[in-house]
Each structure stands twice: as structure tokens, then as C-alpha cells.
Amino acid sequence: MLEFHAYMLVLVEGRANSRAAILNRPTVLNAVTAHMAARLNKLYDSWEENSSIGFVLLKSFPLSEVEPFFLKASGDRAFCSGTDVVDLYRLLDEGKTEECKELFRSLYKFVYVLGTYLKPHVAIMDGVVMGAGAGISLPGMFRVVTDRTVFSSPEVQLGFHPDAGASYYLSRLPGYLGEYLALTGEKLNGAEMMACGLATHYSLKEKLPWIEERLGSLITDVPSVIESSLAQYGTLVHPDERSVLHKIEMIDSLFCHDTVEEIVEALENKAAESGDKWCANLLHKIKEAPPLSSKIALQSIREGRFETLDQCLAREYRASLTFISKDFSNDFIEGVRARLIEKDFAPKWVPSKLEEVSDDMVAAFFLPLSEVEPELNLPVAVREPDV
């Protein structure tokens, strides 16, 4: 019964020389569960071994009427809103911690498999792309966005940390853009994703059927052939004049500092000097977020700059298990409760102030797991034998 359930949540579409996996939970913005992650792993493993399949595509089933607190006027389409944190909340409330761990294991393994996939991969990110939704798409070869794509990393605001490979791809964005996105939860549109390198192709949403028809007819495993097909229906775009990317020098000057406290101080000084409402808004978002998550996110991205994808995922796994253990923090449970369950939007973070978060508290989320808790086991020796 569970296997049938997973089949319905990730559909498969057969093509001449390719396969498409289709995320099919539109009423909850295609949020990923453990069963979905396990099915994606199973599908991608079998497709990689099948010589009659030249390339793989990932997309979502259309339309959702549900919109979470961090999306306003985002439209009615979601590629993937990330991990199903409401389901995680329910599992933790029922004491089913092992099932939560299995979600992280399956999800992070899929992110790694995608990042090392031997066949060309096309992710069509039409609509909302948040958190783990980016993790299951950005590591792939081709990343198509549209005029209704909205990207964000809202994990810190929920009392968690940017995971599913986020410390890898955010740390590789221009300057300190990754720190800015992680600490504030601010959004990027499709044109901005193209400009900063998160996406490889941009298309108007009306052209997506043409792209899919063209890809479906291809008999190839050659990346350049797939690339030219995507480019054929692509659109040349640039961020508009209001884009945050035009503030990249200011972002670098504000988010380059070593600590969250120094970043807050820089924002306070800038807001006071110039009366800049943009700075004031960023300052408000950081101060509204849980201090512990903010400090963990900053350190995670800084360490991610010098790590491989598998190393980032292994470290993120440690942090995720520490968060759900509730031994050091209850912020994740409190964040989901306040933002998504009871929706009183009044989370009570502990600690409540940045100065109350010690270095030892942050370090606890980066330490190796205990002897009775296995580390994340990724197939690095098989997929990257020369590493």
C-alpha cells in the first residue's frame, strides 16, 4: 500500500529515449516526503543503468491553491516547496524520529545521486522552488526556469537550517549572495536565477509544452543536443532595474562579516545612515529569525565553500539530526507550529537573542554523530571512485 502511495506521488512519463519523473502533490506544493525521496532514488538508479534511456527529466504536476506564509502573490504553480516539514512535525510529535531520519537519508542520497548523475538531466522548475525543492533540481546538468519561478531558502525562518545541499550551491553564488539568501529568506525570480548561475535556461511558461514536446522526440544522450533544444525555445532575459542583484556590492559589504552580530550591526549602521527601507526590512527579517539557526546557517555556508557536495550533505545530515533530536534546541518544532500549524506567527525562540548563542551551542550541530548513530552513508566510492 505504501509503495502504491509513493507511485502516485511521483509519476513516470515514458518518452522515446528518455524518462520523466513528475512530482504529484500539488495541493501541498509538491512537498517531498520520505516515500517520494525513496521512489526518486529507485527510479533514477534504474534509469541510469538502462542503456535505452538517454536522459532524464524532472518536473511537477501543475496547480495548487495552497500558499504558505513565506509566499505572497507567487501564483498557482509549484515545482517543489521543499521537505514536507508539516509531516516531519507530525512524526516528531508522535515520537517517530527514525522515520524523520529516513527522510533525510533518502533525500540527501538523491541530491548526491543527482549531483553525480551519469546521464544528462533536465529539471523544469516552473513555479515555487524552495529549500529541498532546489536540492532535488540544482545539482543536475540543465535547470530550466520560467517567468513564474520563485526561488527561496526559508529554512532559517522556520527554526531549521539550509539543507539538502544548500550549503554547497549557496556558497558558490557570486560574492555573499548565498549568505544574504539564507539569513533573510528573500526570493529570486527566474531572471535573477539565470543571472547568478542557479539556472541554465529561461523560458516563458507558454513555451514549456513546446520544450517538452521537443525533448520527448529526442533520441540522444549527448548534452550539447539537449542544450540546443532547450536554447531553441529559450528567452534572453536580464534582471529588471528593481532586482536585488543590482545591489550585489552592497550585499557583499553587509554580509561579508564573520558573525551574524557583525552583519546585523552593518545593517543597522547602513539603515541609520541612509534611511534605506531595504536594509531596514532585511534587518527586521534577521532579528525575527531564530538566533541559533542564523548562526548555524552562516557557519554552514562558510564551510560549504571549501567542501564537495558529499561533504556538505554529510555535515548537513549531522545538523538535521541534531535539530530533530531536540537535545539542543526546540526551535524547529516551534517554528513549524507558529508558522504553519497554529499560524499565530509568534514563535518563541530559545535562545531569543544572538548574544545568548554561544560558540559551543553552534559547534554541537557540526560535531560527528555519536557511536550509536551512523553517519550519512553516500555511495561516494561507487560513484566517484577517484575521489
Tell me the per-residue pLDDT of 216-275, one tens digit each, with 9 for 90 and over. Answer: 999 999 999 999 999 999 888 999 999 999 999 999 999 999 999 999 999 999 988 888
Tell me the per-residue pLDDT of 64-112, one tens digit each, with 9 for 90 and over. Answer: 434 444 444 344 578 999 899 999 999 999 999 999 999 999 999 999 9
What does each C-alpha distance from 44 to 136, 156, 200, 212, 226 come to in angstroms?
Answer: 12, 30, 21, 19, 19
- Residue 55, H or E segment: strand 55-60
Residue 192 scores a pLDDT above 70: yes
Cβ(139)–Cβ(115) under 8 Å?
yes
Instruction: Work out the average pLDDT over 5-11.
Output: 77
Residue 187 scores a pLDDT above 70: yes
Mean residue pLDDT across the chain: 91
Q: Is the dihedral of CA 346, 351, 356, 360 positive or negative?
A: negative
What residues form DSSP beta bridges with 384?
none
Residue 377 scores a pLDDT above 70: yes
Angle, in degrees to the nearest 10, between helices 291-304 and 309-325: 160
Tell me the per-residue pLDDT of 39-64, one tens digit each, with 9 for 90 and over. Answer: 999 999 999 999 999 999 999 976 44
Neighbours of 288 (CB within 10 A): 13
Tell me the per-residue pLDDT of 313-335, one tens digit each, with 9 for 90 and over. Answer: 999 999 999 999 978 899 999 99
Decide the pairing of beta strands 18-23 and 10-14: antiparallel
d(CA 249, CA 251): 5
pLDDT score for 65: 39
Q: At residue 121, what are phi and psi to the nearest 5 degrees?
A: -130, 135
Name the DSSP class of 201: E
pLDDT score for 6: 57
What residues form DSSP beta bridges with 146?
203
pLDDT score for 5: 55
Tell me the per-residue pLDDT of 115-154, one tens digit each, with 9 for 90 and over. Answer: 999 999 999 999 999 999 999 999 999 999 999 999 999 9
What does each C-alpha distance from 182 to 123, 300, 339 come to in angstroms?
Answer: 22, 10, 17
Residue 191 scores a pLDDT above 70: yes
pLDDT score for 366: 97
d(CA 147, CA 203): 7
- Determine which of 3-12, 292-301, 312-321 has the lowest per-residue pLDDT on average: 3-12
Place of cell 513565506: 70
